[in-house]
Structures are given as structure tokens and as C-alpha cells.
Structure 1
Amino acid sequence: MKMNFSRVMRLIALRNRDQEAIVNVERNRRFTYEQYHLLTNRIADVLRSTLQIGKGDHFMLILENDNLSLMLFPTTFKQEGTVVMTNLRDPLEEHARQLDLVKPKVVFLETRLLDSYYDTLRSRGCAIVLMDPPFTEQAARPGVHCFWTLVEAASDLDNDVELDTDEHICVLRFTGGTTGKGKCAMYSIDNWMACRDAGFINTDLAISNATRLLHVSPLSHGTLMLFFPTLYAGGTNITMNQLDMERWRQEVEQERVTHSFLVPTVLYRLLEMQRAAPKDFSSLTTLIYGAAPMSPDKLGELVECFGQIFVQGYAATETPMFIAVLDKAAHQPGDAEALQHLSSAGRATPGVEVFIADQDGKPLPMGETGEIRIRCKAVIKGYFGNPQATADEFEDGAWKSGDLGYIDADGYLYIVDRLKDMIISGGFNVYAVEVEASLAAHPAVLMAAVVGIPHPEWGEAVHAEVVLRSGATVTEQELIAQAKNRLGSYKAPKSLIFVDELPTSVVGKVLRRQVKEKYWQGFARKIS
């Protein structure tokens, strides 16, 4: 099916003309729906007319949330090129690897990065568009353009671009790489429309024209899934660029934020901050979290502090929509059934096919653990420039998630672990997330990372690194004893150390791979 998204956005703008569409708090920019439509028309015209981006061409974004909000939907859908989204916080070396794979004609860049990125980009023939006004000497460099100068000279008229929603690859995006080098996922327009629809099908998300959603996690990653339904509903997408939780608290209060997306480790820090110095969070109706389950032992504290406003979403780069959702009713402290479900990822979004498969891809009965596989309209088109990975990870229309899990008799999906994060110790399978949950249940523990480390007898031994709450104390022996009581001796850590911090992604997800790597240096294999 072909669609003209200038017309689509024009109708949305007419419906919500004076409603705020975008608020960039750090740059103090506000755009109504009418202004946003005209601005994205201009940016699309810059891409097509000035920068000569056409069908099959790529342009790359190395940007903060404020600027990403201008370059995503509907800009991307109003022109024929393919946008390449990156993680701004990746090092130059990783961006260079990505550049060599996708070969963009143009790179949109934060101005402060020009000096360090210029030679790398120009040596690859890329034109550079700086998002904030450059210094005179920066602007004088060959191949450098100023974004707002280009935009002011462009046309804001609706265009005649029609794109095939199934076949056109509108976005390339790199996987998180928490277990290795990221791959380059290919997205159709229909993939993102499935993302939009999931926001409405899951009614507990309560997205409407009254929604004011604060994005603090990178828009290039998980929080983008909430951008689409909020915009289509006539709500307001509010952006922050840094994971500064004190600033986040201020913006929630001042902007009367209704929704936001955070990961559990950040929620636990937020809880401590709110207890120490409360802000007015009366506007907050929905706090969405993902990437890891919430600790059942901390749920009561969170609900007492914030109310029953929590929703868990399960998704992935390869399926950019909420595949499963654990609704607000399941976040009920003191309810034994709710606490059991709290360790799940929730129930599948209606219309999504989720099944558990054995090593040969055959479906397993309810309750048995295997690999989670997913079929839905959000499943990506494969990996750009990597047919082998595409063949390995997609089979018969399903994405093989690499997550181990099961579905119970009530339809709740439980994620036991990543296949690559399973520890085999003395012939027993130990799942890192299970051990981490047992440690996090202690009131002194803020967060933990559990990995397998080399052991001469067992192959791997269960090892934990633990961050304590500020001012709290507990001994290694006490935590190991607690894990033994909850899980049994063979699953409990055989060693444990206390650390000041754990390596985390930009959204606060603990990077087990980085914890594990230091213990396996000098070994040919990372498991035994």
C-alpha cells in the first residue's frame, strides 16, 4: 500500500492545530502541531532538494533527543531516503564502523562533535549538517552546512512523495550490542505503524491527546515506541538529552508530565530521591518500564511513593512495539497472584503471535522453557548487509529472540534469561536474572550483576557484583546466604564483591557482558 505522509500529517495537524506536539526542554523549543507539520515539510525539502537525498540513499543521525525529535516521524516519511539512527554515546570508532557499513551521503551531527568527527566523515565523502549554529571557522570548512540556514530557505508546502508502507525501508537502526557488536536492523513503515497501534491496543498505557510524555532515554532506542502513538493521538512529546534524574523530576513537575519511560534501576534511584526531597508528581498517570523485571520486594515501596501507575513493556530492536505488557493491576503489593505475575513480562499484545520453541524450532507446551519466538507486523525486514545473521535469526516469518522463557496457563510470558547470559555451572543451568532478583530483594542492595566466571572444576562459577544503597551495609556472606535460602546452593553466588557502580547502557540497563569480559581475559572462550 502506498501513502503520502504529508497529507497524513496535514490532517493530524488540522485536528490538533494549536496543541503542543514537541517540547525540547533543554533548547527551550516548542512546536504546535501546525508548526511541526510545516517544519518537517521544510526538513524533508532540504533532504530532497538541497542535499539531493533520493530513493536508496542513506542519511545518518548522530544526535541528541531534542534534535532527533525533528528528524524522525514525520520527516522521515515525507521523503524517499533511508534514515540511519545511531546511539550518540557510542564512541567514534563504533560510528566509523557503522559509516562503513551503510555509507550515508549526509550526516546530521551535534555541533560540539564537529572537530572530533570532521576528518572521519569527510574521508568517507559525507556532507555534514550541524544542528546548532557553528562557529565561523567551523562553517567555513568544506562540506559543512548549518541546519537552520538550510531549513529557513526550504519550502513548507506539502509534497507528492508516496511510499510503499511494506516495501520501503525507511529506517536503519543498530541493535544495542549488549552481547556483542550491534547489527543493522531494517524497518518498513508498517513496522512503525504496528508500533503505533500497540500503543492504542494496550489500553492501560492510556495514551490520548492529553498525554504529555517525557523522553529521557534515547529516542534512537526504546522510548521511540511511545513517540509514535503519542503523536498520532495528538499528545505532546517532551524531550530531554541527558539521564539527569533531578532535572527529570523538575520537568515532571513544571511540564505536568503524564507519562515517561524508565528502566527499573533508574526507578530505584528515583525512589530514593523522591523520598529525600519530594516533588509534585500528581500529574503522573503512567510510568512505563522495560529492559528488566521489577524487583517484587521493591514494588511496595514504589507503589507507596508513586501510586499504582506502573506498566511493564517487553520489546526489542527487531520488534519495535510492545510485544507483551504487564498492566497496572499486576503491580499490586500484598497480592500473592500479582506478585507472581510481576516476575513476568505480562501478556502478549492482542494480535501478536508469541510461542516457545525448542532447539529445532518446534513449539513447546505451555509451561515449558525454550526460546521465545515472535510473529507480528513489527518484525523487521532483516539485517542490512548481513544475510547470514538474517537467515540465522529469522525463520518462517518469526524472529528468534534469543530470550529463554515460558508461557503459563494464564497467558503470562516469563523471560528466564538471555541464551547468552545462561551460566552452566557443574552441569546445572543457572539464570543470571534469577540470581540478581534474589540479591536485589535485600533492602541494602540497589542493583546487582551476575555472571559466570572461570572455575577449574565446575567450568563456570556464579559470581556477583553488587551496588549498595547509599549508607547501607551488608556482608558478602549475608547476601550469599539469602540467595541460597531463596534459590538453593547451586544457584547462589560462589563469590561476591561490592562495587561503587556497574556499567550501564544509556537507558540504565546493566551491561552484563562488560562485567563478564574482565573475568575472561586471556581465555579463548567466554564460557566453559
Structure 2
Amino acid sequence: MAQRECALAKPRCDLLEPSEQSTMKMNFCRIMRLLALRYGDHEAIVNIERNRRYTYAQYHLLSNRIADVLRTTLKVRAGERFMLILENDNLSLMMFPSTFKQEGTVVMTNLRDALDEHARQIDLVKPRIVFLETRLLDSYYEILRHRGCEVVVMDPPTAEQAALPGVHSFWPLVEAACDLDNEVNLDTDEHICMLRFTGGTTGKGKCAMYSIDNWMACRDAAFINTDLGFSSTTRLLHVSPLSHGTLMKFIPTVYAGGTNITLNHLDMESWRRTVEHERVTHSFLVPTVLYRLLELQRSDPKDFSSLTTLIYGAAPMSPDKLGELVACFGQIFTQGYAATESPMLITTLNKAAHQPDSATTLQHLSSAGRPTPGVEVFIADAQGNPLPNGETGEIRIRCKAIIKGYYENPEATVAEFEDGAWKSGDLGYIDADGYLYIVDRLKDMIISGGFNVYAVEVEAALAAHPSVMMAAVVGIPHAEWGEAIHAEVVLRKGETVSAEALIAHTRARLGGYKAPKSLVFVDELPTSAVGKVLRRQVREKYWQGALRKIG
């Protein structure tokens, strides 16, 4: 990379106020430089589709340049926001440490979300800059420019695209930037380093605010749970979006000196080839994908001898399928329970527990594991009073990973956080051995194939169709996905429409993963005295006889 002369900011030498002296600050250029000195030529990042490889020394200089682009060229200041609508390999360049080497706040999005949802998110956080996949520029340009956003496209644009006002090309900016360390010192507790969207009881995504300490807690939890085995020999393959759950594995891999490997799309043959060719040791997959992987490995075996740890989450493992998976891959499975509001491994079910050879281990397989040491997990009644072991109530969590609240949403912050604890909205209990069991959900969130989908959002999309009078959307049991999105629909009098047409209508509005996978027409839905649909009654008939009332 070409270098240009750049000046470093002079360090402060004046006396600090006592309150400022007591704050914890970090300079991530220095932290990354030390990692680069320690791990040097060891691979830090491998992007499979774009065939890019960076050592720790190269990754340090590259992330310095990206931070300089944000600070010097694009002039992003403290308190300002920039948004990422990117695939995994480009996200890997814009992650920690790049975003921790400058003062702005990064906004993570799900590339799979529909354009309308991204527009709503932009309206909320008002980013000055949006980093965008080049293939999306034509469809996103007017919306972004109308909202005053400058756009940075990650791959070379066409001549016509490059001539558009407010459009920048990523790599020319990076090549012209400074790769020297800077003097950015960020408060690890107060600085909001990231915003990321979750869901809410209204169905619209809330925007979670993260401090640096939140993500350092994520790092520490990975090392405390030694069964995960993070080290300099780790080669972790990311295939689910780095903007979401797999981000929690990215950070400890960097600190351990391991290699983060990215795939942009969940294609099982690509995943299998990459594991074999890159000698992958770790990956994160949801149970539905593990079941598909089992069938592929049985019919066309690959060399998976390098795999030591397969982490899964978002749904429990089927005990029947687990025995088959262990027989095929070995005892390499571990479960993690985490949340957007607490981005760390709150609980883990370790590898030894994944052996259905007794009644005790079978029972534990239906749990979410034991809390990470140092994490306070307790069960509370409706008034917030702790309940004894074995009694079911709301799961509440206290730890350093608990977010700073919801951006521009003080009402939700007050409602969901109390006395330093996050009120998860999940019902569960802790057994005599310290295992946490999630048995039902207070919030109407559906977890299907590892993605969170909120019932109200899907119902609103269905109700937007002129033939629909009302709808109830629930998660129903699914052997592979944990839960599948199912809708019961009441049509307007005299109207007719096919289930397939309604599903297509919803897919067009929300994206494929939020669309119902099944839909039935009913004459009426159960309602309360004031006419509110009783979604839980709809849901219960599909879960009768299920051991666990959650996917």
C-alpha cells in the first residue's frame, strides 16, 4: 500500500480533572500494534470469496488506514454515526479493531433486511456515511442521498456510478490514507462504539447501544469458557452474518492470535470445501444447518479432522440428532446462549454434556447450559423478586456485557432494564446442578434457523394486503429450524387470495427469512375482551406435547 506523510496528534500533557483521571481509556492502535508484534506473519483475516488474506502485521496497518479514512477523509467525529450494509468479508475489514481506532459510532445492519427496513433504520440513527456493497448502489442511491448520506462502495463502481454525487470508492480512499498509529483514546464505558438493531414487542427493531466494555466482556467470556479452546491455532469460519451472533467469536479469535475466515453466503458445499482446504478448527452453526451437514457428510464425506469446536445457538439440539452428529463428527459440539442485549456467552453447554448416554445428560441437553463464571443469572417473579431453584419465572441477567440501553428509546430502556439487570423476557428455571432451562417466551419473538423474527411485524405485513382482515403469526415446532413461521389469516368478507400469494407478498415487504413458511385460513381468531388477538392461544395448539415451549 502506498503511504503518505501524516501527522500524529500530540498527546495531552495537561493535568486532568479527578473525574477524568478515574475513567478507563484505551488506545486501540497500541493494542493492535502489540498483537501485530506478537503474532506478526500469522494470518488474521481470510476472505474466501474475494480471495484476500491479511497477516496480523498487515491487518494492523490496514485498520489504521480505514480509521484514518473515517477520521481524516470522511471527517466522522465523536457522536456521529456511519452504517455498514455489507457482506461478511467486507465486514471483517470494518470490525474491531478498525472501528475502535476512531471516534465515530458504527451502525451494524443485517444485509438480508429489506430496503424499507434499512431506510427505517437510517431514519432513526441518521448516519452521515453508509458503507455499501456496490451491487446495491443503484437501488439504494436515491434513498441514501435523499437522507443526506454519503456512500462508500466496497468494490470498484462503474464509471457512471463513480460520477454520482456523494459516492466514494473504498480502496482508493484506503490506499491514500495514513497507516501510522493515532492518538485516539476512547472511554471504555462511556463511549458508544456500536449500534445494532434488535426486535421489540412492537415488531420494529430497537437499536441497542454498546460500549467497548460490553465487547471486552464478550472477549473475556470466551476465554473463561476454556472448553471453547480459543488460541493462536484457532481458525474460525464465519458463515452467518458477522453483524450478528458470530461477531461474538470474531473478537476473541483476534485477541487469541487466531484466524477469522469468512464466507458471505450459507452454502453447505462451500462451507465443507473451506473447512477441508483451510483446516478450519471452529465454526458457528445453528442446529438446522448441522442436520443438513450431517446428511451431506454421510453421503459425501470430507476431511473434517481439523474441526475441534462446533458452536451452536439460537435453538436446542435434538437429542436424537445429537447422537448421530457425535457419531459422525466426534464430541466437538458446544451450545451458547446469548442475546443482543448481552453480547457474550451468558451460559454454555460444554462438549462433555453432548453425549446422550444417560438420563442425566439427556435432561441437560434440553438446557441452555450453565452460566459463565462471573455472570449473574437469576429467576424472578413478576415483581422482580428472586425465585428459588426449580421455580419458573423470568430470566434476568447482570454482567459487564449488558448494553447501555436503546438508542432514542428511553421508554424501552426503562421497561427492559431494572437495577442493573436485563429482563430477558424469557421464562425459565435453574436446576439443582446450576443448569439454566428456557421453557417459554414472554416476548413474541420467533427464532427460526438462527434469525429473530417478531410476530407483530409479520402480521402487519400480512394485514397490508387488501384481502386480509387480521392475522396471527406464531412459531411452530420444526425439526430443523427449531421454529418455523406460521400464520393464521382471516380474510375480508368476499375476498379470496391464495396462501402462496400472501407469503410472496410478505416476502417482498420483509425479506425471505421473515416470510411465513406455512399459512392457513381460519374463520376467526381468539381475541380478548377488548378485541386483541390472543396469539398465545394460537401458538399453544401447535406446541401441545412439546417438552420445551421454545425453539
The residue aligned with 1:15 is: 38
Amino acid paired to 2:122: L
Query: How do 1:154-165 residues align onto structure 2 when only pairs under 5 Å count?
Result: 154-165=177-188
Query: How do 1:235-246 residues align onto structure 2 when only pairs under 5 Å count?
Result: 235-246=258-269
Match status 1:233 vs 2:233: no
Match status 1:419 vs 2:442: yes
Q: Is the 8 A contact 2:45 2:92 kept in 1?
A: yes
The residue aligned with 1:427 is: none
The residue aligned with 1:461 is: none
Three-state SS of the structure 2 residue aligned to 1:182 is: coil
Q: Are residues 415 and 150 of structure 1, via their aligned partners in 2, closer, same or farther at CA, if it must alter by over 3 Å?
A: same
The residue aligned with 2:462 is: none
1:517 Cα deviation after fit: 8.2
Amino acid paired to 1:379: I
1:356 Cα deviation after fit: 0.4
1:419 Cα deviation after fit: 1.4
2-structure distance, mates of 1:21, 1:66: 12
The residue aligned with 1:362 is: 385
Instruction: Report Cα offsets for 1:27-58 as digits up to 9, x if no partner.
Output: 00000000000000000000000000010100
What is the percentage of aligned positions where both structures have the same residue? 75
Three-state SS of the structure 2 residue aligned to 1:141 is: coil
The residue aligned with 2:146 is: 123
Instruction: Report Cα offsets for 1:309-367 as digits up to 9, x if no partner.
Output: 00000000000000000000000122221111000000000000000011111111100
The residue aligned with 1:305 is: 328
Comparing 192-201 and 516-525, the one that deviates more = 516-525
The residue aligned with 1:388 is: 411
Q: Which of the numbers 200, 219, 224 marks the counterpart of 2:242?
A: 219
Match status 1:251 vs 2:255: no
Comparing 33-42 and 263-272, the one that deviates more = 263-272
1-structure distance, mates of 2:218, 2:323: 31
Match status 1:334 vs 2:357: yes
Instruction: Report Cα offsets for 1:122-159 as digits up to 9, x if no partner.
Output: 00010000000111110000000000000000000000
Match status 1:104 vs 2:127: yes
Q: Which of the numbers 400, 414, 418 marks the counterpart of 2:423?
A: 400
2-structure distance, mates of 1:302, 1:179: 38
1:525 Cα deviation after fit: 2.2
Q: Which of the numbers 153, 159, 172 marks the counterpart of 1:136?
A: 159
Comparing 414-423 and 25-34, the one that deviates more = 414-423
2-structure distance, mates of 1:522, 1:106: 47
Three-state SS of the structure 2 residue aligned to 1:420 is: coil
Instruction: Report Cα offsets for 1:243-285 as digits up to 9, x if no partner.
Output: 1111000000000000000001111111111111111000000
Q: Which runs of 5+ in 2 are unaligned?
A: 1-23, 447-473, 491-502, 526-531, 538-551
Q: Is the 8 A contact 1:212 1:257 kept in 2?
A: yes
2-structure distance, mates of 1:15, 1:363: 46
Q: Is the 8 A contact 2:487 2:520 kept in 1?
A: no
Query: How do 1:271-286 residues align onto structure 2 when only pairs under 5 Å count?
Result: 271-286=294-309
Three-state SS of the structure 1 residue aligned to 2:143 is: helix
2-structure distance, mates of 1:195, 1:244: 28
After TM superposition, the score normalised by the length of structure 1 is 0.84
Q: Which of the numbers 56, 59, 71 marks the counterpart of 2:79?
A: 56
2-structure distance, mates of 1:254, 1:453: 46
2-structure distance, mates of 1:448, 1:46: 43
Q: Which runs of 5+ in 1 are unaligned?
A: 424-431, 456-498
Q: Is the 8 A contact 2:379 2:386 kept in 1?
A: yes
Query: How do 1:157-196 residues align onto structure 2 when only pairs under 5 Å count?
Result: 157-175=180-198, 180-196=203-219
Three-state SS of the structure 2 residue aligned to 1:337 is: helix
Q: Are residues 137 and 399 of structure 1, via their aligned partners in 2, closer, same or farther at CA, if it must alter by over 3 Å?
A: same
Match status 1:292 vs 2:315: yes
Q: Are residues 454 and 446 of structure 1, via their aligned partners in 2, closer, same or farther at CA, if it must alter by over 3 Å?
A: closer
Q: Is the 8 A contact 1:520 1:526 kept in 2?
A: no
